[in-house]
Structure 1
Amino acid sequence: MNVNQVRRCALYARLSVTKEESVSITRQLRSCRKYAEARGWEVVGEFIDDGVSATASRPEDRKGWTALLSTDGFDAVIIWKVDRLARRVLDFLHADETLQQRGAGLVAVEDPIDMTSPQGRAFAVMLAVFGEMEAEAIRARVRAARAQLLKDGRWVGGGVAYGYRSAANPDGPGRVLVKDAERIRWLTEAVRMALRGGAVNAIAKWLTDAGAPLPGGAKRKAGNVTWNRQTVDQLLRNPILAGMTTHNPGRGKGGKRVDPFAVVRDENGNPVVDESLAVITADEFAQLQHILDSRDSPQARKRSDRKTTSPFLSRVALCDACDVYMCRGTNQQRPIIYCPRCKQTASRTTLDPYLVQRLLSERGGEPLSAATVQYCWEAASADELARREVLLSQLESLRIRRGVVGRYFDEDRVLLRWRAKQLPTGTCQTATADLPL
């Protein structure tokens, strides 16, 4: 790309935290517009990813960047700085390669990069390296600060476990956790029921029938208190029950389940216990985890209690956080897919129709087995395995990332990529016995 010949360009801006005024989306776009205006370039579109971390997401997985790549008619993409596009070197190089393949180049307002020469490309890679180093330095500072707070017995922020609340630290700055007088009795009884052999579903029903207050932000149905199995299971796995604190209170990275035994320990390797927060002993907590784990697998249920679900998405969708296939199952008698590691779920009631709509609208006219995707789909009729084969013939990847618990269907959770070039795969037969399930 010769920057002196560019006439049409697209603008891209990204921000992790919207309160960062120094690099706000508005400021980034304003600087990019001025850059384009000074060179007489025509702006054909502006694309943003607000509240999106460059460390936690690749450019191709972001809604704004994906929309930019689906637009035609530009010769360059203007960004404010290299780290607005990526904070990992490989992510930056992959994004730049994607632009080069379509004959476009990358321009940064604050970073004087020229991607047309080997020297310029080397300088751009160096900037990406420094961006990655800066991101790692930030993570190191955050980890160090968190470790010191935990060592001092202070609350590090985030969600507060059910049965507890944060209060001013009586011995110094910051805040600490204390028992919540209104909810701790419900938590204590739920734990005792579980230790006596009570099923998680039974405990959830008891909490619902007794009108126990829900955790903050939990969903209510028709004005009534409704507990579910997942909520109760999370409460019973929190090491705070024994007065212990995890290294990273709350959910793990990408929503992965926190290891209940990965807790803060002293110099001798023993868990640090705050007796004022405990409702059971450490031994009882270990016993409780053993009870829960022995019932955790759906296969542990009686066959008569299992509900058959559609194989349409069997071994098709990957959990974006764990990189493992999501399994089919049910939640409160509704079909879902779930990650066997981090336990995130996605409702099949809304996910399946969404995928079908996109398949037929975006790929329906693609050739498949001397016909089209649309024809093969309709020929499959109600054969879920045959329809699964049609979907797989068009898919490059399907990943599901964790969303906010209790929200309705969020299409941003679905990371869907079609195959770049359709190749003949299979036939439009309804018999698909050879498919891997």
Structure 2
Amino acid sequence: MISNPRVLGAVRLSILKDDTTSPEKQRHAVEHWATGPAVNGRVVGWAEDLDVSGAMHPFKRPGLGPWFDERADEWDVLAVWKLDRLSRKAGHFAEVFEWCQKHGKAIVSVTEGIDMSTPMGKMFAQIIAAFAEGELDTIRARALSGSAARKAKGVWIGGVEPYGYHFERQEDGGKKLVQDETYAELFREIIERLKGDWTAYKIALDLNKRGVPTWRDHLRIVKGDEPRGISWTANAIRAIIMNPTVAGIYTHKGENVVDENGEHVRITDRPLMEFAEWSEFVAALKSDRPVRRATPSRSMLGGVAICKNCGGRMSSNKKVKTNGRVHYYYSCNNVNMGTCLYPSRIRRDLLDMAVDQFVNVTLGPLPVMERVGNSISQAKTELSESEATLDRLEADYRAGRYKSDVQIERYWGQHEFQSAKVERLREEIKTAEAAPAWRETGRSYAEEWAAKDDEQKRVFVQRHGMTIMVGIVEDGSRRVTCKMPELTEIVKETGLHIPDGYVWTEPISEYTFPARIGYTRK
């Protein structure tokens, strides 16, 4: 083992649940090992991958991947809770191990006691990695073995009911999943709120305030058990939305189960949300992840407004006047670092009012447009998967892995099915790309804006790519510039007529702030 190592902790979870503590447990185990007297190391960073399959190559994982290239010089030991947190693929594991050997790194599984810097550790690690891959294959094979019967009967043979469904006994045995009307309606409410620029955090606060039991507590109440009083959290909301079961797709330990033709196995004839709609919504929600904060901002434009002089973000803070009056300001974040020669600062109420007028007056009568295209992304993902399946099937066929008549018959059946799917998806993508990229929501900007609070307005501003810049001009006055670049694209795509000069600027005196802010168009 390297003396006093710099430890990189890797945390992975296939899917978040509303009461899981697995990421915290993994972190605690790694920290306990790293700081112990036998190691005397220090954790220099965390590579966290939540909602990430164990089948994904570690080099490609969003959290861990960058630590192998641009940040490779920052750590000595890669520590994981168990080896399957690193990968469930023996081939992937071998590549990571080879890379670590080449670059003088070590891999340690802290709960399994495996230190791959030792010969014995290397041997055990390879054996466990092979078992992990075998377990993944067994899971898939076991789930597939009864897929035909499940599809034919719509029978659920899993464990606890997934969110929004309850069991309904069948006359010929087995249990079918049907919608739980109360929580199905709650799911639709959550979806509509997320579409309306609510954050998951704000939704969780509201559900807790209303005393709505979480899904797990609801199941306990139905069974006559005492609820645990678990609170809703933003992670619980996101986990529910991101889980394919709400779209009627069968999963096992975070992996989507597919049938022998590579199609998703269904768990119900009446899902909470149709798969195509769910895929499009999740794609849009993932693109919003940098926008939607885990906790609410203290202001509408904190971290959104930009200092025009240095390009830095502006945060909200307060300043107490000598007469005891308190004013809140947006100030350039670089003012304390000395990297901005002319840091911008403006009273919060004045900038908020300026943006209000930009939206209400300049954009007010225009229709709010939504980008169409997330469904194309989903279709492209499915196309890539089907093409990869075809490549694998053909490679196995050329290698002579199909020997019996039954195997060859199944090969041609799968090949025909996937070939037809590839053709269908290519046609769908071609049609979708030729269709308009924008659609009207039926609401104007003024109507949307009036219905939102500060936190929702913040999300709305970022979702639509608005830029709010505050700068000092040559005459020493402050100038607020509001822009919405996506309007240019909308006009080109749809021919929408907008007022001339939608870029709006407002000069504000450096020393005296007008009681009423006017507006001009340029």
Shorter-chain TM-score tier: 0.3 to 0.5
Higher relative contact order structure (alpha carbons within 8 Å, sequence separation ≥ 6): 2
Q: TM-score, normalised by structure 1?
A: 0.40
Larger Rg, first or second structure (1 or 2):
2
In proportion to residue count, which structure has more helix?
2
